[in-house]
Amino acid sequence: MNRHCLCIFLLLVSFVLGVLPACTNNPYRASESGKNVYYDTFSGEPKHLDPARAYSEDEYEIMNPIYEPVVQYHFLKRPYVLVPLTAATLPQAQLYDAQGQRLADDTPAEQVARAVYAIALRPDVRYENHPAFAQHPDGTYRWHLEPGNHFPQIEHPNELAEQGTRTLRAEDYAYQIKRLAHPLLDCPIFGLLANYIDGFPEFHAQLEQAVVRLRAERRKTAGVFYNQEADERANPLYLDLRNYDLPGVQVVDSLTLRITLKKKYPQFIYWLAMPFFAPIPWEVDRFYTQAAAVEQNLTLDRFPVGTGAFTLAVNQPNYRMVMRRNPNFHEEYYPAEGAPDDEKLGLLADRGKKLPFLDEAVFVLEKEAISQWNKFLQGYYDNSGIGGDVFDQAIQVSASGSIELTEAMQAKGVRLLTATAPQVSYYAFNMLDDVVGGYDEKKRKLRQALSVALNEEELIQIFLNGRGLPAQGPIPPEIFGFHGGQAGINPFVYEWDERQQAPRRKSLAHAKQLLAEAGYPGGRDSSGKPLVLFFDTASASGAATPQLEWLRKQFAALDIQLQIRSTDYNRFQEKVLKGNFQILQWGWNADYPDPENFLFLLYGPNSKVKSQGENAANYENPRFDALFRQVENMQNSPERDALIQEMVMIAREDAPWIWGLNPVGYGLYHEWFSNTKPVHFGRNTLKYKRIDVPLREERRLVWNQPVTTPVWVALAILVLSAIPATITLYRRERGVARA
């Protein structure tokens, strides 16, 4: 072959070799291939990663693998139980009367003057490496800078060369609890803690006074043109909380913390499992509360520092979040026991093995559900939820009525896990309203009629693909106080179907009879005027969504006109706080597995209007409130359950809510992803997850074969196009050679 032909051939070969490697849909770097990495998604930027401020599930998804409270929920056991995490043993409250005499654990709350938790810590827990701990030989801190000094230009604190670590100390937990009272942090549970931790409100007032003094000093130094907002934005106020005493939180020694509550509150142990009570060292607080850090947007809200199994290595909330194994993580092992079926489900195969199993976890921002779903099907995400628009691709209903995966999902080896969430979604009546509120018999029957007519079973099927259970009261399944079967139905809305052995909603005729007894026969009052009710929703557009149209039809079945009033979110919140509504949709996701965390939603002193509490219906029944005060601080027992059942029946009869539904979550998991179990409390589960990397690589290759046909067609066209030119060149060269 002459040199021209050879050049053309080599050019074509180079083209093929250059294009073929690009024939892939793999969204990850080639360097990640074969690595022990877990892939998941998130849909929005976490607002806070500071444990004093964060209070949402998307924030906790990132925080829980990093921060470690003293206790955690057992990964496998159900009902949920707490076990030590950084604590050496599970803390137990010691109860005392007003004279300081020790009381029995089951002493009624009204006889208890103090509840003391002595928390002993493990000695082997260390923080992740971080520049906040880096010290000079003389003990001064390398990156605690003097005013006017600056960090090098960095994107992440880990880019600072000098770093350090130290062991966890009791003072770190005390420091964080003090931060919960910091007036500049606006902790969302401050009000609750003020009711319980000894001296907490007074401590908050002390810090407020300190802030006032600091501001006055700065204003005096700067002069008349001082701009407080601009100054504090560039150079935040720093309070060294070690210098302020909180009576209810005392450091006994380096590994012992004592917390004193003003009253008996058994649920406090659950709060100790939340990130609010994770440790924050003073060195970290000082590092982030200095101008050098703030000017580069280095804050605790973006870059958490903890003792957990993982660290936040990459924080790019508009793209991805990357967590890496913490090399300083203390010894922790996979549980050796669990729920009865866990052995059969393979959830105990890793018993006794050291945690964590992953080297890295990558969370990718996915705003489009279809994009996320397709990447899951291609094996690029290890698990997935099921959106309504793809539900039929994943789930089918068998002839017996059971829920199963489709054949396509089964062929991929995908597993389906379902679990009823400890949540309640409901419609709240404003009990302060003249029409739908009130406590006389007619007002009760109006609300009961609407509760019967609003067909939650239909809503669940139409809008949730069957993923929900009609709620029978304020307490969801798997929470103490919930009763299933015939004993647990709401008799004002349901009757028991003996043949189906299931609750059956009462008839529309019954609802109409209740409506007539309420003074609205045929949906009209005594003067013949139609009954018009108002439903408020947070929607700036005011668009009539399918669900709102469905809701209108439910009321229309009773000849009641329902008018939808849509406003933007801020205006909607204002209406709720002021009680300027009749009916709205609301919900609650449990903080911890105790009935008190649901019953308080109907406790009178928690009224939205009167105290800005979580009682959105502004419900107030003296007997219910008295029972709540009795049961809120009781341990679980038959006596407590009996009182709870009385409370639930009172609320069912008063009907401040249309009881709504308890959502059922559906999750899909690839066969290479193990140690998967639905967890609704704590969610500190990343350290238990395991990936079979070779199996995942194998499946990805099979499911994502490169489509090279267009390349070969293009190559053939180029070759065929080159043949005439090659022949011409060949003949010309032969002619020259002969001459």
pLDDT in tens, 283-339: 999 999 999 999 999 999 999 999 999 999 999 999 999 999 999 999 999 999 999
Tokens of 174: 């005390």
| Composition of the chain by helix, strand, coil, percent to 5 | 35, 20, 45
Distance CA 643, CA 232 (A): 51
Tokens of 582: 């009749």
What one-character-per-residue DSSP string does 82-128 give?
A: EEESSBSS---EEEE-TT--EE-TT--GGG-SEEEEEEEBPS--BPP
Which positions ≥6 away from 345 have C-beta within 8 Å?
Answer: none
Partnered with residue 94 across adjacent β-strands are: 116
Tokens of 726: 């090659």
Distance CA 29, CA 32 (A): 6
Return the pLDDT at 617: 98
Spell out the alpha helix ranges (H) of 241-399.
268-271, 282-288, 291-294, 369-377, 391-394
**Please, how many CA atoms are within 13 Å of residue 530, restricted to the half-sphere of its CB?**
10
Which class in CATH covers the domain with range 40-325? Answer: alpha beta
Closest CA to 476 of 625, 589, 621, 385: 589
pLDDT tens digits, 638-667: 999 999 999 999 999 999 999 999 999 999
Q: Give the distance between the most distant pair of CA atoms in the chain.
A: 124
Percent of the chain with pLDDT over 90: 85
Question: With 0-12 CB in 10 A as exposed, 13-18 as middle and 19+ as buried, what is 179?
Answer: buried
Query: Residue 659 is inside which H or E element, if any?
Result: strand 657-669
Closest CA to 594 of 631, 645, 566: 631
Taking the CB of residue 162, how many other CB atoms lie within 10 A of it? 12
Beta strands in 528-656 (DSSP E): 532-538, 561-567, 583-589
The full set of domain ranges for the chain reads 3-23+706-738, 40-325, 423-665
Q: Give every strand in the sheet of 37-42, ordered side by side.
A: 37-42, 360-365, 320-325, 310-316
Return the pLDDT at 213: 96
Return the pLDDT at 644: 98
Q: In the structure, how many helices (H) and strands (E) does the chain have? A: 23, 25
Give Cα 177 distance to the centre of its chain.
21
Closest CA to 192 of 183, 184, 201: 201
Return the pLDDT at 265: 95
Taking the CB of residue 24, how many other CB atoms lie within 10 A of it? 13
Low-confidence stretches of the chain (pLDDT < 70) are 1-23, 540-544, 707-716, 718-719, 721-722, 725-726, 729-731, 733-739
Return the pLDDT at 29: 86
Beta strands in 271-394 (DSSP E): 310-316, 320-325, 360-365, 383-384
Amino acid at 677: K
Closest CA to 66 of 690, 687, 689, 691: 687
Task: Check the CA dihedral 223-227-231-236 and report its sign.
Answer: positive
The pTM of the full predicted model, rounded to 2 decimals, is 0.90
CB 567 within 8 A of CB 541: no
CB 575 within 8 A of CB 567: yes
Pairing mode, strands 82-84 and 71-73: antiparallel
- Select 423-665's CATH number: 3.40.50.300, 3.10.105.10, 3.60.21.10, 2.160.20.10: 3.10.105.10
Closest CA to 535 of 620, 429, 443, 669: 429
